Amino acid sequence: MTDVYDFSDRIGRVEPSATLAISNLAAEKEAEGADIVDLSVGEPDFDTPENIVEAGKAALDAGHTGYTSSNGIPPLKEAIAAKLRGSGIDADADEV
pLDDT digits (tens, 9 = 90+) for 69-90: 899 999 999 999 999 999 999 9
What pLDDT sits at residue 39?
A: 85
Do 55 and 89 have their domain in common? Answer: yes
Do 53 and 96 have their domain in common? Answer: yes
Taking the C-alpha atoms of residue 11 and residue 72, their distance in angstroms, rounded to an integer, is: 36
Do 62 and 92 have their domain in common? Answer: yes
Domain that holds residue 22: 1-45
Taking the C-alpha atoms of residue 77 and residue 88, their distance in angstroms, rounded to an integer, is: 17
Residue ranges in the chain modelled with pLDDT below 70: 1-3
What pLDDT sits at residue 1?
A: 54
Residue type, 58: A
Do 4 and 35 have their domain in common? Answer: yes
Do 41 and 78 have their domain in common? Answer: no
pTM equals 0.47
Do 57 and 95 have their domain in common? Answer: yes
Residue 74 phi, psi (nearest 5): -50, -50
- Whether 85 contacts 91, CB under 8 Å: yes
